[in-house]
Amino acid sequence: CGVFGVVGVTDAANFVALGLHALQHRGQEAGGIVSYAPDEGFNSARRFGYVRDNFTRASLMETLPGSLAIGHVRYSTAGSKGAAIRDVQPFFGEFSMGGAAIAHNGNITNAEALRRELIDRGSIFQSSSDSECIIHLMARSLQRDIPARMEDALRRVEGAFSVVAMTRTKLIGVRDPLGVRPLVLGKVGDGWVLSSETCALDIIGAEYVREIEPGEMVVITEKGVESIRPFRPQRSRFCIFEHVYFSRPDSIIGGRSVYETRRQIGVELAREAPVDADLVCPVPDSGTPAAIGFAHESGIPYGMGIIRNQYMGRTFIEPTEQIRNMGVRLKLNVNRALIRGKRVILVDDSVVRGTTSRKIKEMILDAGAAEVHFRIASPPTSWPCFYGVDTPQREKLLAATMSEDEMRDHLGVDSLKFVSLDGLYRAVGEASGRKADCPQYCDACFSGEYPVEPSDMIEKGFQL
């Protein structure tokens, strides 16, 4: 998901709509905005579909006045899949000291246990979302102000959370102690911005100030930014998959360009798994920077052998298998004139279920390629993510059930190689690789080492 908030600008909701549009790659199912104006109170709008189809209509935006607003773009990882407007954030709660709205990116790993406890004690849940727990925990806190109630609530929550919240006067941002999901601070005119990624600061002409640090809470008013440390300090474990796939390539994370990191993964891949071929093709768009790096390092020409229809979204983000299956052909087509007779290296960011990769291989062979070699810019995805990326259950992950050779045969390609975990760490700037004893990132979907115990899933029988 993507989260965004602004305080101290006229018509804040318009800024939020633009910010969410720039974060659309983080969630395409639905979006929502809450705003506050002193004479109007809180207003909200939650809609299915793209930001540009909903939150650009003047008739809707006029219902969201005020100089303080937050928003969310959703892709379901927890809670019900598919249509349920009640699961669309931001969530809102009314407390004795006033209302508050919250937008959450990440996954709460003890949400089901918390929900049971809260329901037993009288909470009435409105949605099936894990994020709603935060509102109910806040309602039960005895603290006198909303930021303190949020601290109380979040100290009981486990897992990944980057939260953007608002009261009548304050914009609040929090990152979990491991800092699994991103969150950055920006400045626009006299106002302040919180955003999942820097690409959404650019769209509104905001200046990047800094990242919210892991375990930090910021409380922002028009006067300035107050920083609080509600949690016990821990070594941070940022999601390495944000660098591989999830974030936009024009974003800056931890001072590093995501594009440059992806290009560097391609360089590592070319060093680790060279192959004699005529053409390096990205699987667009997610494989493009790595393919550029691969071509540069190997000296093999780069070409656009697959053309993407720009009017389709990210395939995997459509929540049902059926839509995903159709999605590949709706989205990608082969550039036959370029491919014919060539030995082609296809570079993609990841293999998850293998559905996309298989279809692409067929399309490339139908177009007359002489050989097809897959090079993947991440290690085999053999474990599900429980921290906010929608990987399927373990049995559906190709790499969980097959060796690399078996995957190669299953996909029907001439060769298949993944970048190593060390190579990936080198690409994100760890000169000596992963340093097995103290990884700086979460890499659980590749290593199976979960930095936060996924307690709800373990209760349901998931085996580490």
CB of 259 to Mg ion, least distance (A): 15
Which of 231, 241, 259, 316 binds ligand SF4 (CB under 6 A)? It is 241
Residue closer to Mg ion (CB basis): 236 or 357: 357
- At 44 the three-state DSSP class reads strand
DSSP 213: P
Which are the contacts of 207, defined by CB distance < 8 A and separation ≥ 6? 186, 187, 188, 201
Which candidate in 1, 133, 199, 281 is catalytic?
1
CB of 85 to ligand SF4, least distance (A): 27
Residue closer to Mg ion (CB basis): 251 or 286: 286
Residue 11 assigned as binding residue? no
CA separation for the pair 213, 183 (Å, rounded): 8
Is the distance from CB of 387 to CB of 158 less than 8 angstroms?
A: no
Residue closer to Mg ion (CB basis): 93 or 379: 379
Stretch 263-302: interaction string toward Mg ion, x if CB under 5 A: -----------------------x----------------
Is the distance from CB of 135 to CB of 127 less than 8 angstroms?
A: no
Rule CB under 6 A: is residue 399 a binding residue for ligand SF4? Answer: no
Which of 442, 452, 454, 456 binds ligand SF4 (CB under 6 A)? It is 442
HSE toward the beta carbon, residue 265, CA cutoff 13 A:
34
Q: For the chain, percent helix, then strand, then coil, each to nearest 5?
A: 30, 25, 45
- At 36 the three-state DSSP class reads strand
Rule CB under 6 A: is residue 389 a binding residue for ligand SF4? Answer: yes
Is the distance from CB of 32 to CB of 71 less than 8 angstroms?
A: yes
Q: Which residues in the 143-182 window bind ligand SF4 by CB under 6 A? A: 180
Residue 168 CA: distances (Å) to CA of 11, 62, 151, 153, 420: 15, 19, 18, 19, 49
Q: Is 1 among the catalytic positions?
A: yes
Residue closer to Mg ion (CB basis): 183 or 244: 244
| Amino acid letter for position 360 | I
Rule CB under 6 A: is residue 376 a binding residue for ligand SF4? Answer: no
Please provide the distance, in angstroms rounded to a whole number, between the alpha carbons at the two ends of the chain.
Answer: 26
Rule CB under 6 A: is residue 387 a binding residue for ligand SF4? Answer: yes
| Amino acid letter for position 375 | R
Among 303-311, 395-403, 419-427, 440-448, the segment contacting ligand SF4 (CB under 6 A): 440-448
User: Binding site for [4Fe-4S] cluster: what residues are annotated?
Assistant: 239, 385, 442, 445
Interface residue list for Mg ion (CB under 5 A): 286
User: Binding site for Mg(2+): what residues are annotated?
Assistant: 286, 348-349
Interface residue list for ligand SF4 (CB under 6 A): 180, 239-241, 385, 387, 389, 442-445
